[in-house]
Amino acid sequence: MKSDFYSPSDTPGRHEKEMMWNRIELAVAEQRIRSIKSIHWKSFWFGCAASVLIVFSVIGLFTVFRSVTAPNPNSGYALDMTYERAMNQLVSMTPNLVKQADEVERPVLESKIKNIEDIDSMIEEIRNDMLLNGVSDIKRRQLKRLYALKMDHVKDLLLSDEVSM
């Protein structure tokens, strides 16, 4: 059974079919380009934002990890400043000791004060080196030894039997 609803003249010709399919292809292509562009740009910006967040997160994690695992440089600085303050307080008493000493003891005390000043210059030299070249365990140990040596000299100076305070 053949349907007589459409007659042969109702169907489009070759030229009409070609024009109709060209318009359909253009309409479909425009819709694809619009949808692809909007999705593409959105994903591009979301990707950029996500990568920036990831970079900041990694930097933050690295900084936290480094600060947790690394020794605290401020603790060494605080110890250094404590030694320095204690020594300055003790050394500030030495001019009175020299004034009170008799003529025999005075050159010995002045020699000890000179030794303390030399140790101070070595401490200052190591500190400057630490500022320029960074802190190391060897330099910290040298500083502690110099402070101990300085304490010994100050102790000897303060505990001189002949000098009365």
- DSSP state, residue 77: H
Q: Return the biggest CA–CA distance within the chain.
A: 144
Contact 109, 160 (CB under 8 A): yes
How many angstroms separate the Cα of 116 from the Cα of each of 2, 46, 76, 144, 151? 123, 66, 22, 15, 9
- pTM of the entire structure? 0.47
Rounded Cα distance between 142 and 104, Å, is 34
What was the pLDDT predicted at 64?
A: 87
Residue spans of the domains in the chain: they are 12-70, 72-158
What was the pLDDT predicted at 164?
A: 46
What was the pLDDT predicted at 77?
A: 64
Sign of torsion over alpha carbons 73, 75, 79, 81:
positive
pLDDT tens across the length of the chain (165 residues)? 566 777 777 778 888 889 989 988 888 877 666 555 556 677 888 889 999 999 999 999 998 888 777 665 555 566 677 777 877 777 776 667 777 777 777 788 788 888 888 988 998 898 888 888 888 888 888 988 988 888 888 888 777 754 444
